[in-house]
Structure 1
Amino acid sequence: MQLTQNGDDLEITFLGDETGTQLVLQDFALDQLDNLLTATGGTVDRGNILFSDESDFADSFDVFDADSTRTRIWNLNSVTFLNDLDNTVHGFGSSDDVINGLGGNDTLAGRSGNDTLRGGDGDDTLDGGYGDDIYTGGAGADVFVLNAGQGVDTITDFEMGSDRISLGSRLHPDAIQLSEANGNTLVQTATNEQLAVIEGITGLSNAIFI
């Protein structure tokens, strides 16, 4: 299933249907959640959901109920929006997940795949696991997890003085090399394995590692 915002209308295309069946919700935007009902007949609380940067979704789209304490995503290649609780959520196996933490102090674990993890508000921990992952911490003092042999991750909004990078058990801060290129900071091991790109910031030291 694919959701596409087309002007004032939301188009829902059923990708597994050879006829290309499409459902159009006229004058409906993704942020108009007051029009959506839960399985129990209640309305989704728009105050707990923020739709940003996502206008086209492939395969699966999931929104946590305001009181949900789920810890795992069960849909392949899904775009998931959490709630304002302190969530600990794991992605689906080797799929390319997009997990949006929104409020709360969240721990987001992508597992395998090229995941996009966004912490939103709160002091969040983002751990993409295997794959080339994209981290956006959002507001708060966030922790970005890097491990050797698990791909090259991108940190989009590192805040000096508040955010930190947590190194896996096979890594030590003294063995990490920082270099700069095109206004970004590159994170490498002593054996020249690239671990991450920290976008838009230079002048960092190994004091950012924990």
Structure 2
Amino acid sequence: MSRPLVVTDCDEVLLHFMRHFRDWLGEHHAIAVHMERGFRDALRHADSDEPVSEVQAWDLLNGFFEGEMARQTPIDGALAAMLELQRSADVVVLTNIADRFNAARRAQLAALGLETEVFTNQGPKGAALKRIVDRFAPSRAVFIDDLAHHHVSAADLVPGVFRLHLCGEPALAPHVPCALQSGHAHARIDSWADALPWLTATLQEERP
């Protein structure tokens, strides 16, 4: 019999990202990050408050992943939750970073105690999620992500997968559009202490 499947994002779900990206940008690039704004408007030159161009923002993002992933720290309870879920389910990571960072992400998580397969992706995650679900053919599946538009994509392409909207960065969570409120997630829970019981019950088929 197939096992349940958990497909989880990494940044702001398992590991803190924006707080460390913000610190690095301030230290080395004189760029301020305003977490209350969307990503494209959050990065601003500290001396002028002018927004960083989209091209530069992506270059900076890739620069962080090229050399600064060691800065990232686990979100409270996230890795322990993954290890607990691995006892009875397959757990994989679906992360929106360039494919060339796949091995580094696997190594990053392994160094923190989480051995898991990593799938890298660009753009909406629904198609990649569908490929993963088709490959594993799980008895039941849950998708976890911090961004609402990925839940929209997942709901469209793999509607049978349960969807948990979780943003583990307190400075970001109040400003992230809620996929539960828009009808694209089954739950919105921003702490792992509360998310793990929901996930366990969902994977054990204790909810419809």
TM-score normalized with structure 2 length = 0.27
Q: Which structure has the highest helix share of the two?
A: 2
- Pick the structure with greater CA Rg: 1
Say which structure is richer in strand: 1
TM-score by structure 1 length? Answer: 0.27
